[in-house]
Structure 1
Amino acid sequence: MESPVDIDPSLLLKIIDSSYDGIFITSHEGVILYCNEAYSRISGLNAASIRGQKIEDLVAGTEIPDACSPDVIRTQRPITKMIDYYQGVSALVTSVPVFDSAGSLVWVFSNVRDITELVTLQEQLKSTSDLNAEYQRQLRQIQDQEQNILLANSPMMVNILRLADRVAGVSSPVLIQGEAGVGKDLLARYIHDRIDTPAARPFIHINCSAIPEELLEAELFGYEPGAFSGASEQGKAGLFELAGNGTLFLDEIGEMPLSLQVKLLDVLQTNQVHRVGGTKSIRVNPRIIAATNKQLETLIRENRFRQDLYYRLSVIPIYIPPLRERKEDLVSLISYFLNRKNRKFGMKRRIDSQVIEILSEYPWPGNVRELKNVIERMVVTADGNTIDESCIPVQILQMAGKTHFIATPDYFSTYDLKTILAEVEREVIKKSLAVFGSLRKAAFHLGVDLSTLVRKKKKYNL
């Protein structure tokens, strides 16, 4: 077995002193015995001036902010701390006890590693992470705003948004009426968002037609523990309570059962709710916005809606006209939905002007909601980047007046058979070219030679 290598103590000190890490040694009483140049650089202390002093005195005299050695002397166990020295250097300090053969503490050896760059990098990463989180929050906010956008070019919609802006800052109930799909929920959200709305003022949406009558009361007003079979043992706060000082949007209010209309009216008059199975009154103060596609006046005559509740809800009535009555908004909506779907699917679709003309002739019974879905369908199903007439759903072509016609003299205002046949042939070829996209495909489906189709295309100037 080889004998251990003898190392000259002076050489050992030179090796320690050349270390990039700070080396710091104290006695078992905390007296500073040695520190290398790296420790002086990190701590900002002069090695000669502190040698022989007690480490605790340096900490007490605020020459250094902290040290591990006193804790090691007290516990006789290794200690690691991160210390920010007054020179602006951050260091990871590890101090370990050194014992003699009898097990008595002799020295405390400390290794001091400069981690300033690592700390700076960590702070930069945290800053980057925080910044990224903020960007994500702003992006979600922008996306939410995009989801709730209301475009207004027609005078009717411009006036509606002006009214919404005026009423946004007051707490008066608003009743929004209009056909299904016109954007009643978007207008409700628009009114809510017009004012500064922190998290403490939420927007709570409930569809009165989507919840069974026996559960709707509990959802609106809450319930006490054990109020009914299947109820939570802790009870549950209702939406009136959860809305706080925010907005409670009662969608499809015309579908609310008469028995609940009475209770709703009482809450609106007293600003108090009683949970199901409870006796205590709970103060509530949400802003109420209701919406319906029903004719409430008709429901009142049929004894299906309370007249007093109607007057209570319709302090500020707003009627959104159907899309067919505000065609000025159509092109803007088409452009908006097209851009959104292109971004969503990573596409670059554009709409042919003839398609816009056809869409403008369609009455849109499903209103804006139907338009949104049709644009998405055309974006997804288009063969190329141009959305042409072949992409339009058949029912829209038919309802827009693009239905198949019967070639009669009345239609063409002539009895000349040659003229009628030529016009029919021209329209069939034109439609085939639009649907199939190429001469070869169109010729195949028309059952003619390609050369024949080329000749007729030229003849009819198509």
Structure 2
Amino acid sequence: MAENNLLWRLVGSSYDGMFLTDSVGTVVYCNDSYLRISGLQREQITGRNIADLVKEGEIPDACSPDVIAHKKPMTKVINYYHGVSALVTSTPIFDEQGNLVRVFSNVRDITQLIQLKEQLGEYSRRLRQAERASREDNKLIAVSKEMEAVVRTATRVACFSSPVLIQGESGVGKDMLARYIHDCSDVSESRPFVQINCSAIPETLLESELFGYEAGAFTGASSKGKIGLLELADNGTFFLDEIGEMPLALQVKMLQVLQTNTIFHVGGTKKIALNTRIIAATNSDLEKLMAAGRFRQDLYYRLNVIPIRIPPLRERKADLLALMLYFLEKNNRRFNLNLKLSPRVIEVLSSYSWPGNVRELNNVIENMMIMTENTTTIEERNIPQYITQAVKQPLFIATPDYFESYDLNEIIPAVEREVIRKAIAEFGTLRNVARHLGIDLSTLVRKKRRYNL
């Protein structure tokens, strides 16, 4: 008797609603939680038939009548009239002869869960909108014949899973073209686009970032292991930026990925199958790297199935005005401005060689917009000084006639400064610049500080 009393006290104090009917559906018991969830009073339902309560509109729905009819458990989501949603599971109870004697129902309030699900759906919708807006804010501009050819090729190859190798100087938009290829493919809406810059991650970490690792694979590894970026890109696109910076040891593993579509975790023995489209990009001359023994020839040919070269901005001047106006419009929206470019500004910017390509142009437009005050027109005075000087000055040629004296103490630093400046504009990351200049990174940082670059 004491155990039965304890059991009923437990049922009565349960946070979930509970109610019990007999074999024909008459309500014989309900706890306080059920009254709270359903919004009913005890006297409304006790002794009443559950089917009649539904028929007369006292409650919107119930599982018990179906359980009585089919002698099987049943679960439903019921939205009660006062705004509470509940997950109701009703279970038949039989005696020793197999006769139905009771139907027990558990009623769990899932209102907050549904609200969270709706919020998650709204957040997902907003995220998709933000992604679409981001893509629109990073669209390809193709006015020149050269870029039209690039876009045609990219659109064509998007429908195929073959590897693509994008080559071009720093800042021409190789990452944007890779994203464009993914977006034009059949899997773009639901499949991942994952990218990594091979020059931005230390060599000691790059392998584990790409391939993932098993628990305890190396000192400092997570006890749970970690999935790699290649796995995250499964059924989607994996973009390897600055592939020329990938260490030779990892190049062997990437070749295996391309040949077998499988990977192994660092420290693992289980083969993991992938269905990932590989796009690689570089601003390096891979043929020179191959000749120097720094890039594998077999990997080059495996990646170079679909080669695409993006020409530098100086080779497609027809795109310049369209790009200027595009960046102007984008930043007008971003900063809530209404600025325009004066004809003189367009003339000066069109005369510049843009060694930093589209990235440099974007940054210059943004800089001019921020520095323009008390007017709606960007004028020549708002153009960065280094551009106006470059446009007015002749091409830098290190001859004695260029300098005012023959003093090597003046000439050599001037030449060195110009070479470093152009290398920074050309190759982007300091690591890249140092490699092309043939000096170590610390020396480059010291000279960059010395020349105020």
Taking structure 2 as the reference length, the TM-score comes to: 0.62
* % identical aligned pairs: 54
The residue identity in structure 2 corresponding to 1:213 is E
Alignment correspondent of 2:48: 56
The alpha-carbon deviation at position 274 of structure 1 amounts to: 1.3
Alignment correspondent of 1:179: 169
Alignment: residue pair count:
310
Contact 1:148 1:190 (8 Å CA) reproduced? no
The residue identity in structure 1 corresponding to 2:341 is I
> Whole-Å Cα distance in 1 between the matches of residues 120 and 294 of structure 2?
54
Match runs of 1:49-448 below 5 Å:
56-57=48-49, 59-60=51-52, 62-66=54-58, 83-84=80-81, 136-137=126-127, 139-197=129-187, 200-383=190-373, 384-401=375-392
The alpha-carbon deviation at position 58 of structure 1 amounts to: 8.1
Q: Deviations over 1:369-409 (max 9, x none)?
A: 00000000000101221101100111101111268xxxxxx
Shift in CA distance, 332/82, structure 1 to aligned 2, threshold 3 Å: closer
User: Which shows bigger deviation, 219-228 or 394-403?
Assistant: 394-403
Shift in CA distance, 315/57, structure 1 to aligned 2, threshold 3 Å: closer
The residue identity in structure 1 corresponding to 2:180 is Y
> Whole-Å Cα distance in 2 between the matches of residues 236 and 212 of structure 1?
18
> Whole-Å Cα distance in 2 between the matches of residues 91 and 283 of structure 1?
47
Contact 2:183 2:189 (8 Å CA) reproduced? no
The residue identity in structure 1 corresponding to 2:379 is D
> Whole-Å Cα distance in 2 between the matches of residues 291 and 265 of structure 1?
15
Contact 2:168 2:309 (8 Å CA) reproduced? yes
> Whole-Å Cα distance in 1 between the matches of residues 124 and 268 of structure 2?
43
RMSD, matched Cα: 3.4
Q: Which has the higher contact order (CA 8 A, sep 6+)?
A: 2
Taking structure 1 as the reference length, the TM-score comes to: 0.61
Contact 1:205 1:248 (8 Å CA) reproduced? yes
The alpha-carbon deviation at position 136 of structure 1 amounts to: 3.3
Matched residue SS, 2:48: helix
Q: Deviations over 1:23-55 (max 9, x none)?
A: xxxxxx99xxxxxxxxxxxxxxxxxxxxxx997
Following TM superposition, the consecutive aligned residue runs of length 4 or more in structure 1 with deviations greater than 4 angstroms are: 81-84, 128-135
The alpha-carbon deviation at position 134 of structure 1 amounts to: 7.7
> Whole-Å Cα distance in 2 between the matches of residues 91 and 226 of structure 1?
50
Shift in CA distance, 222/394, structure 1 to aligned 2, threshold 3 Å: same
The alpha-carbon deviation at position 142 of structure 1 amounts to: 3.2
The alpha-carbon deviation at position 345 of structure 1 amounts to: 1.1
Q: Deviations over 1:328-383 (max 9, x none)?
A: 11111100100111111111111101110110000000000000000000001012
> Whole-Å Cα distance in 2 between the matches of residues 292 and 62 of structure 1?
68
Contact 2:198 2:206 (8 Å CA) reproduced? yes
Shift in CA distance, 398/163, structure 1 to aligned 2, threshold 3 Å: same
Matched residue SS, 1:227: coil
> Whole-Å Cα distance in 1 between the matches of residues 347 and 169 of structure 2?
24
> Whole-Å Cα distance in 2 between the matches of residues 385 and 207 of structure 1?
39
User: Which shows bigger deviation, 316-325 or 146-155?
Assistant: 146-155
Contact 1:188 1:289 (8 Å CA) reproduced? yes
The alpha-carbon deviation at position 280 of structure 1 amounts to: 1.6
Matched residue SS, 2:360: helix
> Whole-Å Cα distance in 2 between the matches of residues 161 and 177 of structure 1?
14
The alpha-carbon deviation at position 264 of structure 1 amounts to: 1.1
Shift in CA distance, 270/154, structure 1 to aligned 2, threshold 3 Å: same
The residue identity in structure 1 corresponding to 2:372 is A
The residue identity in structure 1 corresponding to 2:289 is L
The alpha-carbon deviation at position 139 of structure 1 amounts to: 3.6
List gaps (5 residues or longer) in structure 1. Answer: 1-28, 31-52, 69-80, 85-89, 93-124, 404-462
Matched residue SS, 1:249: strand
> Whole-Å Cα distance in 1 between the matches of residues 295 and 190 of structure 2?
33
> Whole-Å Cα distance in 2 between the matches of residues 395 and 184 of structure 1?
26
